Amino acid sequence: MKLTLRVPAGYDLVSSVHSWIFPDVQPVPEMTWKQGVGRVFTFGDESAGVLVSQPRPGAILKVLAESASLSRAQIRNKIRWVLGLKVNVSDALAAMQDDPIISDIAPSVAGIRPYVANSLFEGLIKSIIQQQVSYRAANVLTKRLVLELACAHELDDRKLYPFPTSSQLFNSGEESLRTLGLGYKASYIAKIASLDVSEEVDLEGLLGCSHEEIMDTLTSIRGVGEWTVQTLMIAGLGDFTVFPYGDLGIQNLLGNLYQHGTRMTRNEVIEKSRSWGDTGPMVLYLLMCADVLGLVGTSGMPKTHKRLAEVRTLSKE
């Protein structure tokens, strides 16, 4: 099935995806190339490989899906959700432009929209993997998990991958997960998979629940704390009313930008976020995207737009 999708003005598909998926560490399960991204998505009980391409930033997206049983509306809704096409970042960009320290970064991330997980289960497992490691290291671990457990699909001569299901993770077992380098997190992941398989916890049923309800439900699970839930709220639910302010990555980044390299404390990050008003969490998200894309130097000084072209060049052809 082929279809198209209109996008916000200036939307940059590849840069938005590469804000959280490194071009040289794939599949996670996403695979990217010079003008697009592909993976296997879930649609209820069905899964289908999907390719999304964009010839240039701002252009209409071209979508190719392998399943004829899915409706165009189902595919469009999934793509819009995962790519964050309905998210408004204008207030966050305006706040960045009004801040002399980060005003030069704003134009470089104007085409970025939040990329979220295919499902809440996937988002939670990825958030667990991200605990206490760099984002690149988390991508490496996720790649190992995908290659070990997921079955690839073929679409338009491209190999596409799904994220492992809870059943696959459960059947794999804790010890097998440890061999992939997950360490103590293997027990957390195995437990979450078990809870999902047994339906003791209905993760997808948390969609639409309040932040407090989600926090109460998930922090009752061993290995899931405040940071993990706050990360999940962003990466799995696209909720930018919260942010993991205690994240060392954002503390170091803001320290480089505003405090001559001295890491900010959690409270200082909260205070800085509040200085941007209600859009503070989105500003923090865009700054982290800029950092992953290599648009902020180690000194905290913004780099030029040239880096975006370099990132696209690194993409798989």
What does the domain layout of the chain look like in residue ranges?
2-86+117-235, 90-112+238-309
CA–CA separation, 283 vs 277, rounded Å? 10
**Residue 188 is encoded by which pair of tokens?**
């957390």
Cβ of 10: how many Cβ atoms within 10 Å? 11
CATH superfamily of 2-86+117-235: Hypothetical protein; domain 2 (1.10.340.30)
Classify each residue of 39-66 as buried b or exposed e, where b means 16 or more C-beta atoms within 10 Å of its C-beta: bbbbbeeebbbbbbbbeebebebbbbbb
Three-state secondary-structure class, residue 217: helix
CB-based contacts of 290, cutoff 8 Å, min separation 6: 105, 108, 109, 296, 302
Answer yes or no: are the C-beta atoms of 317 and 308 closer than 8 Å.
Answer: no
Q: How far is CA 62 from the centre of its chain?
A: 21
What residue type is 164 in one-letter code?
A: P
Cβ of 156: how many Cβ atoms within 10 Å? 11
Q: What is the pLDDT tens value at each position of the chain, 317 positions in all?
A: 999 999 999 999 999 999 989 999 999 999 999 999 999 999 988 999 999 999 999 999 999 999 778 999 999 999 999 999 999 999 999 999 999 999 999 999 999 999 999 999 999 999 999 999 999 999 999 999 999 999 999 999 999 999 999 999 999 999 999 999 999 999 999 999 999 999 999 888 888 888 899 999 999 999 999 999 999 999 999 999 999 999 999 999 999 999 999 999 999 999 999 999 999 999 999 999 999 999 986 545 555 444 444 444 444 44
CA–CA separation, 312 vs 34, rounded Å? 6
CA–CA separation, 186 vs 166, rounded Å? 13
CA distances, 300 to each of 18, 158, 219, 254 (Å):
20, 38, 34, 8
Listed in order, strand segments (DSSP E) in 79-233 are: 153-155, 158-160
Closest by CA position to 24, among listed 290, 296, 316:
316
